[in-house]
Amino acid sequence: MVTFGGKAGISGFYSTYEYRQNPHCASFEQTVDMTQVLNFGIQWRFMQKKGLMELVQDTSSFLKIELENAAAHKKDISNIRGHGTAIAFDLGSSEAADSMQHWLMKRGIVVGRVGPETLGLRPALICGPSHVASLRDAVKAYHPNHDQPRF
Protein backbone atom coordinates (compact mmCIF):
# COMPACT_ATOMS: atom_id res chain seq x y z
CA MET A 1 0.00 0.00 0.00
CA VAL A 2 1.30 3.46 -0.87
CA THR A 3 -0.10 6.61 0.72
CA PHE A 4 0.62 10.23 -0.09
CA GLY A 5 -0.36 13.36 1.76
CA GLY A 6 -1.94 16.70 1.18
CA LYS A 7 1.32 18.71 1.24
CA ALA A 8 1.87 17.59 -2.34
CA GLY A 9 -1.40 19.25 -3.26
CA ILE A 10 -3.20 15.94 -3.64
CA SER A 11 -3.75 13.04 -1.27
CA GLY A 12 -4.94 9.46 -1.37
CA PHE A 13 -3.66 5.92 -1.58
CA TYR A 14 -2.94 3.09 -3.97
CA SER A 15 -3.31 -0.54 -2.94
CA THR A 16 -3.47 -4.06 -4.28
CA TYR A 17 -6.73 -5.91 -4.74
CA GLU A 18 -6.28 -7.70 -1.39
CA TYR A 19 -6.43 -4.40 0.51
CA ARG A 20 -9.65 -3.14 -1.05
CA GLN A 21 -12.52 -2.62 1.34
CA ASN A 22 -15.39 -5.03 1.52
CA PRO A 23 -18.07 -3.54 -0.79
CA HIS A 24 -20.71 -4.26 1.89
CA CYS A 25 -18.94 -2.03 4.47
CA ALA A 26 -19.86 1.60 4.88
CA SER A 27 -17.13 3.71 3.26
CA PHE A 28 -16.58 7.15 1.91
CA GLU A 29 -15.87 7.65 -1.78
CA GLN A 30 -12.79 9.70 -2.55
CA THR A 31 -13.29 12.22 -5.28
CA VAL A 32 -10.35 13.31 -7.39
CA ASP A 33 -10.02 16.98 -8.21
CA MET A 34 -8.25 17.12 -11.59
CA THR A 35 -7.08 20.66 -10.88
CA GLN A 36 -5.03 19.34 -7.96
CA VAL A 37 -3.62 16.53 -10.09
CA LEU A 38 -2.55 18.98 -12.80
CA ASN A 39 -1.10 21.36 -10.21
CA PHE A 40 0.93 18.54 -8.69
CA GLY A 41 2.27 17.65 -12.15
CA ILE A 42 3.47 21.22 -12.65
CA GLN A 43 5.10 21.26 -9.21
CA TRP A 44 6.80 17.91 -9.82
CA ARG A 45 8.25 19.06 -13.15
CA PHE A 46 9.56 22.22 -11.48
CA MET A 47 11.18 20.19 -8.68
CA GLN A 48 12.88 17.91 -11.22
CA LYS A 49 13.99 20.81 -13.46
CA LYS A 50 15.61 22.65 -10.53
CA GLY A 51 17.10 19.45 -9.00
CA LEU A 52 15.35 20.12 -5.69
CA MET A 53 15.18 16.47 -4.65
CA GLU A 54 18.98 16.15 -4.94
CA LEU A 55 19.45 19.50 -3.20
CA VAL A 56 17.32 18.43 -0.24
CA GLN A 57 19.40 15.26 0.23
CA ASP A 58 22.66 17.26 0.18
CA THR A 59 21.21 19.89 2.52
CA SER A 60 19.93 17.18 4.87
CA SER A 61 23.40 15.68 5.20
CA PHE A 62 24.95 19.13 5.70
CA LEU A 63 22.28 19.99 8.28
CA LYS A 64 23.03 16.90 10.35
CA ILE A 65 26.80 17.63 10.18
CA GLU A 66 26.25 21.21 11.36
CA LEU A 67 23.94 20.08 14.16
CA GLU A 68 26.67 17.65 15.26
CA ASN A 69 29.13 20.57 15.25
CA ALA A 70 26.72 22.64 17.36
CA ALA A 71 26.15 19.66 19.68
CA ALA A 72 29.89 19.62 20.41
CA HIS A 73 29.41 23.09 21.98
CA LYS A 74 26.05 22.33 23.58
CA LYS A 75 26.23 19.11 25.56
CA ASP A 76 22.45 18.82 26.03
CA ILE A 77 21.88 18.23 22.28
CA SER A 78 21.99 14.56 21.33
CA ASN A 79 20.61 11.83 19.06
CA ILE A 80 20.58 13.84 15.83
CA ARG A 81 18.69 11.76 13.27
CA GLY A 82 16.54 11.84 10.20
CA HIS A 83 16.72 11.98 6.45
CA GLY A 84 15.60 14.38 3.76
CA THR A 85 12.92 16.75 4.99
CA ALA A 86 12.43 15.15 8.41
CA ILE A 87 15.21 15.73 10.96
CA ALA A 88 15.05 15.61 14.74
CA PHE A 89 17.31 16.00 17.76
CA ASP A 90 16.90 15.47 21.48
CA LEU A 91 17.57 17.85 24.34
CA GLY A 92 18.16 17.02 27.99
CA SER A 93 14.64 17.74 29.23
CA SER A 94 11.20 18.94 28.26
CA GLU A 95 12.03 22.38 29.68
CA ALA A 96 15.19 22.55 27.57
CA ALA A 97 13.19 21.62 24.47
CA ASP A 98 10.63 24.36 25.23
CA SER A 99 13.38 26.91 25.78
CA MET A 100 15.32 25.95 22.61
CA GLN A 101 12.12 25.97 20.54
CA HIS A 102 11.27 29.47 21.80
CA TRP A 103 14.84 30.67 21.13
CA LEU A 104 14.83 29.38 17.55
CA MET A 105 11.33 30.64 16.78
CA LYS A 106 12.34 34.16 17.89
CA ARG A 107 15.06 33.96 15.25
CA GLY A 108 12.68 32.89 12.50
CA ILE A 109 13.62 29.20 12.55
CA VAL A 110 10.51 27.05 12.67
CA VAL A 111 10.89 23.88 14.72
CA GLY A 112 8.23 21.64 16.14
CA ARG A 113 7.94 19.42 19.18
CA VAL A 114 7.92 15.79 18.06
CA GLY A 115 8.43 14.22 21.47
CA PRO A 116 8.78 15.14 25.14
CA GLU A 117 12.43 16.16 24.72
CA THR A 118 12.66 16.25 20.92
CA LEU A 119 12.58 19.06 18.38
CA GLY A 120 11.92 18.35 14.73
CA LEU A 121 12.95 20.23 11.61
CA ARG A 122 11.09 20.06 8.30
CA PRO A 123 13.41 21.94 5.93
CA ALA A 124 11.88 23.18 2.69
CA LEU A 125 13.10 21.82 -0.62
CA ILE A 126 14.83 25.14 -1.28
CA CYS A 127 16.74 25.09 2.03
CA GLY A 128 20.40 25.75 1.30
CA PRO A 129 23.75 26.10 3.07
CA SER A 130 23.10 29.69 4.18
CA HIS A 131 19.89 28.60 5.92
CA VAL A 132 21.70 25.72 7.61
CA ALA A 133 24.44 28.11 8.77
CA SER A 134 21.79 30.36 10.36
CA LEU A 135 20.39 27.39 12.28
CA ARG A 136 23.86 26.29 13.40
CA ASP A 137 24.72 29.79 14.61
CA ALA A 138 21.41 30.13 16.46
CA VAL A 139 21.90 26.78 18.20
CA LYS A 140 25.46 27.69 19.17
CA ALA A 141 24.32 31.07 20.54
CA TYR A 142 21.51 29.50 22.60
CA HIS A 143 21.67 29.84 26.37
CA PRO A 144 19.05 28.25 28.68
CA ASN A 145 18.55 31.51 30.56
CA HIS A 146 18.22 33.68 27.45
CA ASP A 147 14.93 35.25 28.58
CA GLN A 148 16.15 36.15 32.05
CA PRO A 149 17.60 39.64 32.53
CA ARG A 150 21.33 39.77 33.19
CA PHE A 151 22.67 42.30 35.74
Whether 71 and 122 share a structural domain: yes
Task: Give the CATH number of the domain where residue 64 resides.
Answer: 3.90.1150.10
pLDDT given for residue 151 in this prediction: 41
Whether 62 and 42 share a structural domain: no
Whether 101 and 82 share a structural domain: yes
pLDDT given for residue 27 in this prediction: 47
Whether 45 and 65 share a structural domain: no
- End position of a domain, from candidates 30, 50, 70: 50
Q: For the chain, how many structural domains are there in total?
A: 2
pLDDT given for residue 70 in this prediction: 87
- pLDDT tens for the 151 residues of the chain, in order: 555 555 555 555 555 666 566 555 544 455 567 777 788 788 888 888 988 888 888 888 888 999 998 888 878 889 999 887 788 999 989 999 999 999 999 888 889 998 899 999 988 888 888 888 888 888 888 877 765 544 4
pLDDT given for residue 86 in this prediction: 85
SS (H, E, C) the chain: CEEECHHHCCCEEECCHHHCCCCCCCCCCCCCCHHHHHHHHHHHHHHHHHCHHHHHHHHHHHHHHHHHHHHHHCCCCEEEEEECCEEEEECCCHHHHHHHHHHHHHCCCCCEEEECCEEEECCCCCCCHHHHHHHHHHHHHCCCCCCCCCC
By residue range, what is the domain housing residue 104?
52-141
